[in-house]
Amino acid sequence: MNIFNKLTSLFSTNKSPNNTHELGLNISSNLKQFLENEVLPGLGINADSYWQAFEQIIDEFSPRNKKLLNIREEIQEKIDNWHLERKGSEHNHEEYKKFLEEIGYIVPRSSKFSITTDNVDPEIKTIAGPQLVVPVMNARFALNAANARWGSLYDALYGTDVIDEQDGATREGGYNPIRGDKVISFAKNFLDETIPLEEGSYQDVLGFDFSNNEILAILSYGKSKLKDSDQYVGYCDYGNSAYGLLYKNNNLHFEIQIDSNHPIGQTDKAGIKDILMESAITTIQDCEDSVAAVDGEDKTAVYRNWLGLMKGDLKESFDKNGTLISRELNGDRKYVTKNGDELILPGRSLMLVRNVGHLMTNPGVIDSNGNEVPEGIIDAMFTICIAMHDLNKNGVYENSKSGSIYIVKPKMHGPEEVQFTCDLFSAVEKALGLPQLTVKVGIMDEERRTTVNLKECIEVAKDRVIFINTGFLDRTGDEIHTSMEAGPMITKADMKLHQWIAQYENWNVDIGLETGFKGKAQIGKGMWPMPDEMLGMYNTKTMHPKAGANCAWVPSPTAATLHAIHYHQILVSDEQNSIMQRDKASLDAILDIPVHKNPSAITADEIQAELENNCQGILGYVVRWVDQGVGCSKVPDINNVGLMEDRATCRISSQHIANWLHHNLISHDQVIEAMKKMAVVVDQQNSSDPIYKNMSPSYDGLAFKAACDLATKGRVQPSGYTEPILHETRLKFKS
């Protein structure tokens, strides 16, 4: 009998094996009590059996995890040596490419195949739309993101710079009817473009009528049908003559809400008070880059919120301007179709969970040899077990109606590491009695060795994969670290214009479509980082659906509502059909190393400006991470523009400094002085935060030291990651 049959026997007979002390695992009391008292009840799993299964998985997968990390280091050392041996010589691309193939950095190319992932929800397969990524450690943010499936278009427009403030349309103070009129005009233009009438404009609509299974718009000179009658889906009766009209376009819904008794509806000739948009179709509840979880206590907080989301009972209360506000998950939305049938639409985003990568361990679980357990193994065992409550329908709502668990896995380097993840998920499925392939995997294409082998990574996971995406920040951080010895890199601004970036973005889509993602899985694009600059997002983020991405990250629920407009304007499946006819992106261009061709031409002022920009970004993020345990927040940049920051931003900035420091464009003393100068700036930017601790003028705090270490020791950090220094420093702060 193999170990999984033994475990199945333990679960089915409810026999109790040795307890965790006898087994040798040392579980933090927070995690142990949480698992036994909160997670397992209702799942029919014996606690001792769970821990024994966990330990056997740890014993099997920890050595494999360590081996994979060693391979990363071995490959990096070979690449470093290759560049060092050719220092001063002109770069030979063909020789370089052949070398990468010889060392297994580029693996043999896959033959033609198509993914076979089954039991996938339509939010992933067929509905293109915005995607939120949110720190699950923060219950308020997690709930707001889950509830962002629906959002008010009027609120999103009124409260952002999408609507200008000219001619008296200011946002300050109470409701401004001048601004309100601009909002309504924008919204009705959206209706004209999205669900056009056969005659007339929504600007002139006086009301609505229903006749012969069709919705009619009442105009001063008669009634008008929709050009496409199939766009009208049904209605919802709110009572007191208030109702909603539901429409569908490009697989997305929105509801025209009519209430002549509402303050806004009273001012509208058709009685329209709002347009409720289907917005964040999916949400990634994040255990990784956007959280600061360094021990068993932190991990328990992360997992407890994930459990609350899966059971539907997560609640959070907070003070907002002197008023106590409570949050909980929204219920589903019920409509009557035009044929008289009941239609129920999800009231919440479909939730995925992002586990951590392979690198870090966590002291929350110690193995029988006294070693911290890889955190990715802990995440897999806990997040999958918790999601069983959703599969077993133990909660208030359903998340996946197809019976799947969706895990996004970051920071994997190549197909062998993807295989490890698939094998780990399979082992957890067996241990917990789940059908094989219940757990689906999202592959984040954010490491260079994954990019160049993306098709081969997908093939390894072809029966589990539901997601690939690109991410400029982490991917650039790895680009710099991988080619550290090749020479000084171009500036971050120039990096965005380099050919490898554009080809990388296209390559990701090309490979996804080539391997059958269309209509089966998500192809994602990265974050718009400026939550206060929604006009900029609205004007530019059409590039993501036009690029063939059926989901793209946005920084807030408001941004999701605004970005949803783009998916009404652009049918992604049509864009994908066109993209499949183009020439495939160039691997040679992706391998073009972004070193500066003439570093001596960079002026001292340019060098100092780049250094200070990087230092300010690192400090602004790290001081909150270390001192407050905040893994993601809106951090002012050097120009006081608020940017949504997580560890990826910190990684690129620290690697860029490390690269210039290594190649003597800057000195160690210059870095420290820039850090001190920028610490004063960051202190001033946080002056209104009552719990913020200044870094200046002493410059001796843990956060300041961590920021300096990230820059000055960045070259020797594994793959250039920030986690080892951040985790170590945060643990010191907590102790």
DSSP result, 221-283: TEEE-BSSGGGEEEEEEEETTEEEEEEEETTEEEEEEE-TTSTTGGGSTT-EEEEEEE---EE
Q: Is the separation of the CB atoms in 529 and 569 below 8 Å? A: no
Count the alpha carbons within 13 Å of 122 in the hemisphere toward its beta carbon: 5
Spatial neighbors of 357 by CB under 8 A, at least 6 apart, are 288, 376, 409, 410, 411, 412
Burial of 605 (0-12, 13-18, 19+ CB in 10 A): exposed
Spatial neighbors of 631 by CB under 8 A, at least 6 apart, are 135, 137, 289, 290, 291, 292, 293, 625, 646, 647
Mind spelling out the 3-state secondary structure of 94-151? HHHHHHHHHCCCCCCCCCCCCCCCCCCCHHHHCCCEEEEEEECCCHHHHHHHHHHHEE
Catalytic residue chosen out of the listed positions 72, 327, 333, 354: 354
Q: Is the separation of the CB atoms in 660 and 607 below 8 Å? A: yes
Structure tokens given for 531: 């939550």
Size of the chain in residues: 735
Q: Is 646 one of the catalytic residues?
A: yes
With residues binned 3-state (H G I as helix, E B as strand, rest as coil), the percentages for the chain, rounded to 5, are 45, 20, 35
Burial 493-526 (b: 16+ CB within 10 A, else e): eebeebebbebbbbbbbbbbbbbbbbebbbbbbb
The H-or-E segment that residue 49 falls in is helix 47-85
Q: Is the separation of the CB atoms in 532 and 220 below 8 Å? A: no
Q: Is the separation of the CB atoms in 702 and 622 below 8 Å? A: no
Rounded to an integer, what distance in angstroms lies between the CA atom of residue 195 and that of residue 227? 7
**Helix axes 647-662 and 668-685, enclosed angle (nearest 10):** 150
Residue with tokens 């940017």: 643
Q: Is 354 one of the catalytic residues?
A: yes
* Count of beta carbons in the 10 Å neighbourhood of residue 152: 19
CA dihedral 576, 581, 583, 587 (to 10 degrees): 40
Query: 3-class DSSP state for residue 408?
Result: strand
Catalytic residue chosen out of the listed positions 286, 295, 646, 709: 646
Nearest to 645 by CA among 658, 655, 657, 636: 636
Query: 3-class DSSP state for residue 464?
Result: coil
Q: Please tell me what DSSP assigns to residue 550.
A: S
Q: Which residues are catalytic?
A: 354, 646
